[in-house]
């Protein structure tokens, strides 16, 4: 009886040029994350290896063939990340990332983004030119125009990393957090930086950078491929994050080190991932931004109503309701207009204001109600002024003309705390 061949969570001691023969076309991957061997720069101690000892044309031809195979086994919504760099030959720069991109376009891959990886350190064998080299390129391809992307899951929502303007200008910040830009800063891990468990390799990829790619382009239980596994960073990080991995590596020593490393570290890093997945910080940030927007919307609206139609004897009570179903709107908010005021005139002016900037940029779907009077208490309600809806007035008389916006939302932020 034949033993069934293991197709997932395995690293093959095979040439990446034999991907289809090794795993077949029925096994599909969601994303591939890899850094191909440097062209003719470093011997990886394998016979007939890609890169070392080849002509540039043969090197590109082999890479094209490999990624054609990857294309065939990639899901229709799948993606490909390639970390690669330029190099110098005959006293001039060879634009390998762009030459390879052109080859992959012929296969069918669609180039979606070019990211700069700022790594701070140069590889030991790099040749210094006029300027020190501190970055590589990350090419991000998709198989189709409809590709999987979880970009919101990697947004920056740590307020210590945001400019203090998010407090006064919440409408400028996505409630999910600040989007990644096209320059990623991840230092190259130094030998020994991960302790005795760390795999020795010429150019290891940063764990956090690989984790970011995995988070963006896959979900749990998806399959991830690295046809040039090397130290196994992509494979181990996939395992930590509850994804399946497939790797190819010609050097048996690296495979043995990877398997030993994964066994030693899996429990620790899976636990860290599980804790991260349960982190509520992003939800807290989203709620805070929406609260700030809801309050500021009332303040800006009220100030403009007073200026344009000379109504000033009113307050606005803010009551967030639920997510909006209107396109480009994030939240339905009830605004109770309290005081003796002509409703028709108010609504006509409000309609003009909310359909143009700045209020049209807030993502708020307002619902207006009119109330002659309303009782408030300092225990459950918080008052804000014409100029500040990010820090409530302490011990305020909520009936005072100074208080223009009232809500059960409690916000008390000092922008100097976020310099």
At 128, is the pLDDT very low, low, confident or very high (cuts 50, 70, 90)?
low
The reported pTM is: 0.68
Domain coordinates in residue numbering, the chain: 10-148+182-277, 281-418
Q: Which of 12-16, 200-204, 318-322 has the lowest mean pLDDT?
A: 200-204
Topology (CATH) of 10-148+182-277: Rossmann fold (3.40.50)
State the average pLDDT over residues 113-124. Answer: 76
At 278 the pLDDT is 61
Check residues 21 and 245 and name the one with the higher pLDDT. Answer: 245
State the average pLDDT over residues 314-337. Answer: 94
Average pLDDT value over all residues in the chain: 84
Check residues 354 and 53 and name the one with the higher pLDDT. Answer: 354
State the average pLDDT over residues 281-288. Answer: 76
At 49 the pLDDT is 62
At 53 the pLDDT is 63
At 5, is the pLDDT very low, low, confident or very high (cuts 50, 70, 90)?
low
3-class secondary structure for the chain? CCCCCCCCCEEECCCHHHHHHHHCCCCCEEEEEECCCCCCCCCCCCCCCCCCCCCHHHHHHHHHHHHHHHHHCEEEEEEEEEEECCEEECCEEECHHHHHHHHHHHHCCEEEEEEEEECCCCCCCCCCCCCCCCEEEEEEEECCCCCCCCHHHHCECCHHHCCCHHHHCHHHCCCCCECCCCEEECCCCCCCCCHHHCCCCCCCCCHHHHHHHHHHHCCCCCEEEECCCCCCHHHHHHHHCCCEEEEECCCHHHHHHHHHHHHHHHHHHHHHHHHHHCCCHHHHHHHHHHHHHHHHHHHHHHHHHHHHHCCCCCEEEEEEEEECCCCCCCEEEEEEEECCCCHHHHHHHHHHHHCCCCHHHCCEEEEEEEECCCCCCCCCCEEECCCCCCECCCCCCCCCCCCCEEECCCCECCHHHHC
Instruction: For residue range 178-203, list pLDDT tens digits in order.
Output: 677 788 888 876 554 444 444 444 45
pLDDT at 40 over 80: no
At 46 the pLDDT is 54
């Amino acid at each position: 009886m034949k033993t069934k061949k293991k197709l997932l969570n395995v690293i093959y001691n095979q040439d990446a040029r034999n991907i289809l023969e090794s795993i077949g076309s029925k096994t599909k991957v969601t994303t591939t994350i890899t850094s191909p061997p440097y062209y003719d720069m470093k011997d990886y101690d394998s016979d007939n290896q890609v890169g070392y000892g080849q002509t540039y044309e043969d090197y590109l031809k082999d890479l094209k063939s490999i990624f054609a195979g990857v294309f065939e086994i990639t899901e229709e919504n799948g993606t490909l990340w390639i970390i690669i760099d330029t190099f110098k030959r005959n006293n001039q720069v060879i634009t390998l990332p762009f030459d390879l991109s052109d080859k992959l376009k012929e296969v069918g891959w669609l180039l979606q983004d070019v990211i700069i990886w700022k790594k701070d350190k140069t590889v030991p064998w790099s040749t210094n030119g006029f300027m020190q080299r501190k970055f590589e390129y990350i090419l991000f391809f998709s198989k189709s125009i409809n590709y999987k992307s979880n970009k919101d899951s990697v947004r920056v929502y740590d307020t210590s990393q945001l400019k203090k303007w998010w407090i006064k200008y919440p409408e400028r910040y996505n409630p999910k957090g600040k989007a990644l830009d096209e320059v990623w800063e991840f230092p190259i891990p130094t030998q020994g930086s991960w302790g005795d468990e760390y795999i020795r390799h010429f150019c290891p990829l940063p764990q956090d950078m690989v984790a970011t790619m995995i988070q963006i382009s896959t979900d749990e239980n998806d399959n991830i491929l690295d046809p040039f596994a090397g130290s196994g960073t992509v494979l181990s990080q996939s395992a930590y994050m509850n994804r399946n991995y497939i790797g190819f590596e010609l050097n048996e020593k690296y495979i043995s080190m990877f398997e030993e490393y994964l066994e030693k570290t899996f429990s620790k890093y899976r636990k860290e991932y599980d804790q991260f997945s349960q982190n509520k910080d992003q939800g807290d940030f989203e709620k805070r931004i929406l609260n700030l927007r809801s309050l500021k919307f009332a303040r800006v609206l009220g100030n403009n109503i007073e200026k344009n139609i000379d109504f000033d004897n009113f307050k606005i009570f803010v009551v967030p309701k639920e997510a909006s179903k209107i396109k480009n709107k994030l939240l339905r908010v009830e605004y109770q207009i309290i005081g003796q005021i002509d409703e028709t005139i108010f609504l006509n002016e409000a309609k003009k204001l909310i359909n143009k900037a700045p209020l049209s940029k807030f993502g708020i779907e307002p619902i207006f109600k009119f109330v002659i009077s309303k009782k408030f208490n300092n225990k459950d309600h918080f008052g804000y002024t014409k100029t500040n809806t990010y820090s409530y007035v302490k011990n305020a008389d909520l009936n005072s003309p100074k208080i223009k916006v009232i809500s059960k939302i409690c916000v008390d932020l000092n922008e100097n705390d976020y310099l």
